[in-house]
Amino acid sequence: MRRSAPARAPITSPAAATVFTTVLTEGPVSRVDVARRTGLSSAAVTKAARPFIEAGYLEELASGGRTAPGAGRPANPLAIRPDREYFAGVKITGDDLIGVVTDLRADVRASARHALTGHDVDHVVRALADLVGELLDAGNLRERAHCLGVAVSGDVDRASGVVRYSPFLGWRDVPLAELLDDATGLTTTLENDVKALAVAEQWFGEGVGASSFALVTVGTGIGSALVVNGALVRGAHGVAGEIGHVPVLDGGPSCHCGGRGCVEAIASTEAILTRARLVTGEASLSMDDAVTRARGGDEPLREVFAAAGHAIGLGLAALVNLFGPERVVVSGEGVATYDLFEERIRRTFAAQAFGSAARCGLVIRPLPFEEWARGAAAVAVQSLFVSGSG
Ligand SMILES: [Zn+2]
């Protein structure tokens, strides 16, 4: 790790992290139920919960829902105190910074958006520090906020806090966490944006109660994050779940990754627009016009979107055949035009998913950009309470 979590975090053991996470995502829940769900003994749960109660992160409720300090009855539910601490989360896109402040349960208390006028590292760091400062000051939350989560697309090394490669920002090996620590005074955790969104889904969204699921995002890029047995798959070299770079068309269009025929080279927003301009012969066709005309029944344009849907369906089938998740959540800004792909995605997926793997539910869920920022805040929550996160 780049540095240890602040000493105030009451994590003392993996059991403590497990107990805290169970109450956070499933609470209020009694010690008896926590023990049953985690396989720990009732005594171990009581021991693990005590420092969190003493530090004000958890409280014990009497059976009627009233607070019952120190009663310690195993059947009394444990609950999170959401206002104990606030967390800042920011998603960096090529055009904007989207920021939120959340409580401990990742419920958004404030949000704001700043346009980026450039991708120069110093400019982005300054703009991000300004945005976070504004959000915390507006809510008078600075005193109870110590952690910042930042979500960036691309190859992000969470442990060292370095953006190794971000194609949309044109960055390589930027020690962003350290720069943001200095600029904000908060402890920063960086995460790949799709992985950050998956943390929020795993703890507070479609992933709750699923031991394995995949989140697939469709838009400027096509990405996925995989959760297996409750843990995010990170890959030995920090890369895993790159569904966008699964090759689905031999000799197909070249991809910015250096490969050919990747899902992203066929189905990203830019790839769709490039193809739409080619088939119509209109070099300045806009995406909005392509969408409107495809919806209006323009067959060649409908086929461009369908071909993108086919590529995504093949990628989803490859993903599901390889790891067999309970469900797949498909999201991202591209979902706004999902009516143009959905049928082909489902048809291709059903044709290529192997045997029972096809029983995996495909959930289509548009998530606003604020949700990505909330994912970044959830990563900050996780960094404070879960040692060796993920
Ligand atoms: Zn590629």
Q: How many angstroms is it from 265 CA to the middle of ligand 1?
A: 6
- The Cα 69–Cα 336 span in angstroms is 48
**Is pLDDT at 202 greater than 60 in this prediction?**
yes
Q: How many angstroms is it from 246 CA to the middle of ligand 1?
A: 7
Q: How many angstroms is it from 260 CA to the middle of ligand 1?
A: 7
pLDDT digits (tens, 9 = 90+) for 175-194: 999 999 999 999 999 999 99
Average pLDDT on 359-382 reads: 87
**Cβ-based burial of 296 (10 A; exposed 0-12, middle 13-18, buried ≥19):** exposed
- The Cα 196–Cα 203 span in angstroms is 11
pLDDT digits (tens, 9 = 90+) for 135-146: 999 888 888 999
Selection from 389, 390, 372 nearest residue 5 by Cα: 389
Selection from 159, 186, 164 nearest residue 90 by Cα: 186
Average pLDDT on 293-309 reads: 95
User: Letter for the amino acid at 117?
Assistant: T
Q: How many angstroms is it from 352 CA to the middle of ligand 1?
A: 21
The CATH class, in words, for 208-364 is alpha beta
Torsion of CA 120, 161, 58, 7, to 10 degrees: -110
Q: Supply the CATH classification number for the domain 14-80.
A: 1.10.10.10
Q: What pLDDT was estimated at residue 189? A: 96
246's tokens:
């699964």
Q: How many angstroms is it from 221 CA to the middle of ligand 1?
A: 10
| pLDDT band with cut points at 50, 70 and 90 for residue 237 | confident
Q: How many angstroms is it from 45 CA to the middle of ligand 1?
A: 46
- The Cα 347–Cα 349 span in angstroms is 5
Q: How many angstroms is it from 239 CA to the middle of ligand 1?
A: 13
- Residues whose Cβ atom is located within 5 A of ion ligand 1: 245, 255, 257, 259, 262
Q: How many angstroms is it from 307 CA to the middle of ligand 1?
A: 17
Q: Supply the CATH classification number for the domain 84-199+371-385.
A: 3.30.420.40
**Is pLDDT at 383 greater than 60 in this prediction?**
yes
Q: How many angstroms is it from 244 CA to the middle of ligand 1?
A: 6
Least confident of 64-78, 213-227, 246-260, 265-279: 64-78
Q: What pLDDT was estimated at residue 176? A: 98
| pLDDT band with cut points at 50, 70 and 90 for residue 7 | very low
340's tokens:
């143009």
Q: Which stretch, 154-158, 255-259, 286-290, has highest mean pLDDT?
A: 286-290
Mean pLDDT of all residues in the chain?
A: 88
Q: What pLDDT was estimated at residue 191? A: 93
CA distances for 378 relative to 37, 135, 173, 181, 386, angstroms: 22, 17, 24, 18, 11
CA distances for 96 relative to 91, 169, 312, 369, angstroms: 8, 11, 27, 10
CB under 8 Å to 207, separation ≥6 — which residues? 198, 201, 213, 215, 227, 329
Span(s) in the chain for CATH 1.10.10.10? 14-80
Helix axes 14-26, 31-38, angle to 10 degrees: 110
pLDDT digits (tens, 9 = 90+) for 50-94: 888 988 999 988 765 555 555 566 678 899 999 999 999 999 988
Span(s) in the chain for CATH 3.30.420.40? 84-199+371-385, 208-364
Q: What is the radius of gyration, based on Cα positions, of the chain?
A: 22
Q: How many angstroms is it from 256 CA to the middle of ligand 1?
A: 6
Least confident of 5-19, 146-160, 249-263, 346-360: 5-19
Q: How many angstroms is it from 234 CA to the middle of ligand 1?
A: 19
Q: How many angstroms is it from 177 CA to the middle of ligand 1?
A: 27
Q: How many angstroms is it from 237 CA to the middle of ligand 1?
A: 17
